[in-house]
Amino acid sequence: MNVVQLAASLHNEAMRRGYVRRVEVLDQSASLIKARLHIAPDLFIQIYRNDRFDTTNFVLIHNAQRLYGRDQVCGTWHRHPVAQPAAHDDSPEGRCAIDLPEFLDEVESTLAALGLP
């Protein structure tokens, strides 16, 4: 998924997901996008894509701390599991490529498991 595709998916997915209160695009150029999907004052999803460096970051943030995330660095994916958000899960599932809709599905499951809005 490149920046153009991610930007389009970002707005489409935000409209489909009732828990997203606001979309905030923090930075965008032809090769980069950084945005937030706000859920509550202290809870948001940060999305980052840099086509030039083939880097993608999807992260769920609560109270300024990462709860869960998926990152792609130079084409290789890893996961930051809820139980250990600072750790890198390089298992086959952790290395599985993921797009924004799939990540948002995982976020919904995580929020439900943690009892967050």
| pLDDT over 90 at 74, yes or no | no
Q: Which residues contact 35 (CB under 8 A, 6 or more apart)?
A: 7, 10, 23, 24, 25, 26, 28, 46, 47, 48
What's the pLDDT at 85? 95
> Contact, 11 vs 23, CB < 8 A?
yes
| pLDDT over 90 at 108, yes or no | yes
Q: Whole-prediction pTM value?
A: 0.94
How far apart are the C-alpha atoms of 83 and 81, rounded to whole Å? Answer: 5
Q: Indicate the SS3 state at residue 14.
A: helix
Domain of residue 29: give its range. Answer: 3-114
| pLDDT over 90 at 1, yes or no | no
